[in-house]
Amino acid sequence: MPVITERRGRVLVVRLDRPSKRNAIDAEMAAGLDAAMNTLDDDPEIWAGVLTGTGEVFSAGTDLVAGPGAPTPRGGEYGLARRRRTTPLVAAVEGVALGGGFELVLSCDLVVASRTALFGLPEVRLGLVANCGGLFRGPRLLPVNIARELLLTGEPISAERAWSLGLVNELTDPGTALAAGVALAERVCANAPTAVRASLRALDTVLAADDDAGWQATEWSWQQATEAQDSVEGVQAFLGRRAPRWTGR
């Protein structure tokens, strides 16, 4: 299974486990994430979750060959991007979180990252745009000019820079992000779950007030990008391991 779950007391650990594809998200992984998030939402014995990858990589984003599968009824893209949760979720990141992998991080409530972590939205390098929340959650959680830098250059930022900008709650030594993420989730679990859920719901109500407009803008941007010849060239160049030949059309 490309998604593995483990209960550690009141904490549900959800691990992306498709290392041969750098944890790229296909339909099977999206379905596994959706099922895990349903458990996180629905099991009253679980008070917090941790989303992590393997020791070398969090997620390189969408599987460009197989595709990410259809959005799920409760979670939307990847089973998580549009989900309205009431149970806190911590991202524990080792290695790269790129494209859809970074958008999974942006869908979480708290972020712990190893110093090896890199965060980026490289879609423009493929002639595409971030379509799982990055276009509006990036500017929400980062200074606007830094979000522009990520979205327009496609270049990643380091964990240290992400921490200095306030995106990352806790910076850890390599190999310890999961342990630190679980410890942070346990700190959340030490509090009254009713109060935690109510607080998270209130925060989400305020912060996500503009999400509908964000998704509409994302869908428009995705249509504009994917109708262009450059999007075909960008993906073909990536799969062919060559430099793209852009035409601006």
Predicted confidence band of residue 3 (pLDDT cuts 50, 70, 90): very high
Return all residues near 190 (Cβ < 8 A) that are at least 6 apart: none
Beta bridge partner(s), residue 92:
52, 112
Distance CA(139)–CA(125), nearest Å, equals 19
Average pLDDT, stretch 71-82? 97
Structure-block tokens of residue 218: 């994302």
Q: Which amino acid is at 71?
A: P
Question: Quick one: which H or E segment has residue 57?
Answer: strand 57-59
Distance CA(79)–CA(70), nearest Å, equals 9
Q: Which amino acid is at 148?
A: R
Average pLDDT, stretch 108-132? 98
pLDDT digits 0-9 by tens, 156-186: 999 999 999 999 999 999 999 999 999 999 9
Structure-block tokens of residue 242: 């060559």
Structure-block tokens of residue 98: 């790129």
Q: Name the pairing type of β-strands 11-16 and 3-8.
A: antiparallel
- pLDDT for residue 103: 98
Q: Can you say whether the dihedral through the CA atoms of 137, 59, 122, 219 is positive or negative? A: negative
Predicted confidence band of residue 1 (pLDDT cuts 50, 70, 90): confident
- Rounded to the nearest integer, the mean pLDDT of the chain is 97
pLDDT digits 0-9 by tens, 195-221: 999 999 999 999 989 999 999 999 999
Backbone angles phi and psi of 115, in degrees to 5: -65, -15
Question: Quick one: which H or E segment has residue 159?
Answer: helix 159-164
- The DSSP output letter for 169 is S
In the chain, the domains with their CATH numbers are 3-173 (3.90.226.10)
Distance CA(164)–CA(158), nearest Å, equals 10
Nearest CA to 67 out of 76, 77, 57 is that of 77
Residues with a known catalytic role: 103, 123
CB 138 within 8 A of CB 147: yes
What does pTM read for this prediction? 0.97
Burial of 166 (0-12, 13-18, 19+ CB in 10 A): exposed
